[in-house]
Amino acid sequence: MNSVLNIINANKNFDGTIALDDFSLDVPKSSIIGIIGPNGAGKTTLFNVITGFLTPDSGKIIYSGRDLNGLSPYRITRLGMVRTFQQLRLITRISVLDNRRGSVAST
Ligand SMILES: Nc1ncnc2c1ncn2[C@@H]1O[C@H](COP(=O)(O)OP(=O)(O)OP(=O)(O)O)[C@@H](O)[C@H]1O
Ligand SMILES: [Mg+2]
């Protein structure tokens, strides 16, 4: 398979607010992809759904050929999917490099 991540028709609705509307994306191996959009477009929701912090209402997230449905964030992380957060928090008792390690996707 040439894609490392497949997002297939992901939907997420918050009490009537449609944050993800049939969102699909294939991320090829070794590629760098940017997600852009205005405030409230659904970017953070997308990252939350990819990393298991939120469950999509419908749709599939396939990472390295594996369906992430129902997996908790720490299990998804163990598969190699890592993220940073929109409101960055540094851990002051570890080094700058260790803070940075594993930070790939930013929301
Ligand atoms: N936990 C939540 N409960 C209710 N509504 C939410 C929740 N999270 C996001 N939303 C709504 O979903 C929509 C998408 O929000 P999201 O935070 O994903 O946008 P964003 O593209 O990351 O915006 P920004 O550029 O401001 O970070 C917005 O209308 C937001 O208010
Ligand atoms: Mg955001």
Q: Is 107 helix (H, G, I), strand (E, B) or coil?
A: coil
Distance 2 CA to ligand 1 centre (A): 31
Residue nearest to atom 2 of ligand 1 (CA): 14
Q: Report how far apart the first and last C-alpha atoms of the chain are (Å, whole number).
A: 26
10, 61 Cβ separation under 8 angstroms: yes
Q: CB of 85 closer than 6 A to ligand 1?
A: no
CATH, domain range 3-100: 3.40.50.300
Q: CB of 50 closer than 6 A to ligand 1?
A: no
Phi-psi region of 52 (alpha: psi -120 to 50; beta: other; left: phi over 0): left
Residue nearest to atom 28 of ligand 1 (CA): 40
| Angle value at C-alpha 55, between 27 and 29, nearest 5 degrees | 15
Per-residue pLDDT of the chain (107 residues; tens, 9 = 90+): 689 999 999 999 999 999 999 999 999 999 999 999 999 999 999 999 999 999 999 999 999 999 999 999 999 999 999 888 877 778 889 888 888 765 555 55
Q: Where are the domains positioned within the chain?
A: 3-100
Q: CB of 39 closer than 6 A to ligand 1?
A: yes
Q: CB of 40 closer than 6 A to ligand 1?
A: yes
